[in-house]
Structures are given as C-alpha cells and as structure tokens.
Chain A
C-alpha cells in the first residue's frame, strides 16, 4: 500500500463530526490533495507534535473522535508523547502512524522503525488497542472495528514508498486554516 492510498482509505472512514490533526510534510499534502472535506488541522512545521496537538484537542472535545495522522519520523521525535497519552488515556484519540521507515520528504533516509516497533512501544505505554496493518483490506476492517472501541488506539500502517509525483502544498495560510478548524468547534 502506498501512503496516498492509505490516507484515502482512512479519510473515507472519518465522519464530519470527527477531527483530524495531520502531521507536517507529505502526510498533510496527500490528505489535502485527496480531500479537504473533513475538519482538519494541517501542520506545517513543529515536526513531531501532531500527537501532542491531537491530545490537547482530544482532552477538550471528549464527545468527538480525534484522529492524529502521524509519520514514523514524526513520532520518533516525540516518543515522550506516547507516555503522556498513555497516562491520560483519552478514549476519543485514534493515533494513525503511516510508517514507511524513511524520512521521505528529506531524501528517504532510514528511520529506526526498521529496527524498533512503534506498536510495541504504544502497547507498553498503555494504549488500549494497537494494530499493525499491511493490506488495504485489513486497514478497512480495522477502521470499521474501532468505531466500537475505546481509545487511545494506535494503528501503525506499513506503507511502501511510491514513485508517484508528490502532492502539492496545502494552500491555506496557517492562520486562515486554524480559524477554519476552530469555527467547526462552534
């Protein structure tokens, strides 16, 4: 599965009442190019903090499902976040890590997920449910299944690099994008 396909599958299973916090780099660009229909906080910069922003949003909006779209390089920068999430245990947080084991946007240098399992770390950090997904069918199945489960939930989606041209940048100004995201919370 390539990232763009994986993100398209995840996006399809997200409802308008849910919220997405999308990590900087190709993840946000792919999501934006696939669909901008669901209320999304697209990050540019502050690499590593998607799960922290997601935690803050989740704590304040206990009635909504909050999806964090993260990358392996991103979460490896902020592993402490897993312990904070696992301590506070927000039931509504779904942490999806698109894991290609490289820093793709900087030239595909390897990351440590070649050797260490993020899923196992999340499990050790008290996430209620953790999954590692390798196929599209399985990803669809898990996304349906988690509707009945209490978080925090981690889904590691193993993806391959693709030769496709990368998606364009998110074309909102950051402040405009934030105001738009906040207006959905009214």
Chain B
C-alpha cells in the first residue's frame, strides 16, 4: 500500500479517538508505523501477545472527551505470523473480558509466490479470523476510509475487529 495512504490511515484513526497504538513492526505497514512514531504515539512491544496485554491494560482507562467518558480504545498492529502467536491471548483476555480493540494485520502470503514461511498462514488467515468470530475489513487504496469507519463503529459498540493490509508486492 502506498506510503501516503498508510500515513493518512494513521492520522484518520488517531483523529477518530483511537488513543493507543501498540504492536510489533511489519514491513507491510511500515509507513503507518512511521507516521505514529513521528507523532510519538507508538509503543513497540517484543511480541504480539505482549502488545495485546499492554493495549488491554491501557484500555481499562477512561478518557475524557467533550465532557464524556470514553474507553481508551487501542489498536494493536502485527504481521499475520504474530496474529497466529496471539490467538490464546485474544480468546482468554480480549474476548473473555470483553476489552475491545482493533487488530491491524499485515497479510503475508496474500500473493501465492510470497516467501515460503508465509504461504500456509496466509492461506488460513481468513479462516482463523472467522473461527475467532473477528469481523475483518481489508484496507484498499481507494476504500480505506470505509473500512476504517466500519472498524471504528464496531469498537464503539464494544466489539473487536481486524483491519487487514494485504502484501501486494514481493521483495
């Protein structure tokens, strides 16, 4: 995805009251992360489950916005390999306690000729999301705003969801 779009996505989510951005870097979304670093809004964890734990702790806080109390909503970014690492944390922390968050996932193995370590997880990723009952929206260069709006609506309703950035190039 183009650099300029990734930067716009970060700013859009920040403007729309996503307060915390925690995760493990993925090259597929490096401009998104860089935008957050520039704004001093990114916390880098060592593993994806750790990132989810930190984000969950942050989301137990209430923010004051226009004289209303809002849950301090979080986004956790990761590559799909890290998403696979996080499944138990999603079921036994995020979903069990109903601490909603947005997962931003880089979809390696989206192209069939991506590196071999990504092939299997890339193939089963939609099924995994489905098995976890996580609604997911793909971020496209044209309709990214619509996907972000759906994610923002879900998190305001207290539901976790996933935004997906497909890896559309081979390096």
Contact = CB atoms under 8 A, between A and B. Distances in A.
A178 B97 contact: yes
A61 interface: yes
Contacts of B43: 59, 88
B96 A60 contact: no
B88 interface: yes
Interface centre among B56, B61, B89, B97 (most CB of A within 10 A): B97
B45 interface: yes
Interface of A: 21, 41, 43-46, 48-49, 52-61, 78, 80-81, 83-84, 88, 174-175, 177-178, 181-182, 185-186
Interface of B: 20, 22, 43, 45-47, 49-62, 69, 71-72, 88-89, 91-93, 96-99
Contacts of A84: 45-46, 50, 54
Contacts of A58: 57
Nearest to B55: A56
A52 B92 CA distance: 15
A186 B96 contact: no
A115 B113 CA distance: 45
A175 B97 contact: yes
Query: Can you list the 3 inter-chain pairs with the closest CB atoms, starting with the nearest?
Result: A56-B57, A45-B92, A52-B53
A159 to B, nearest CB: 24
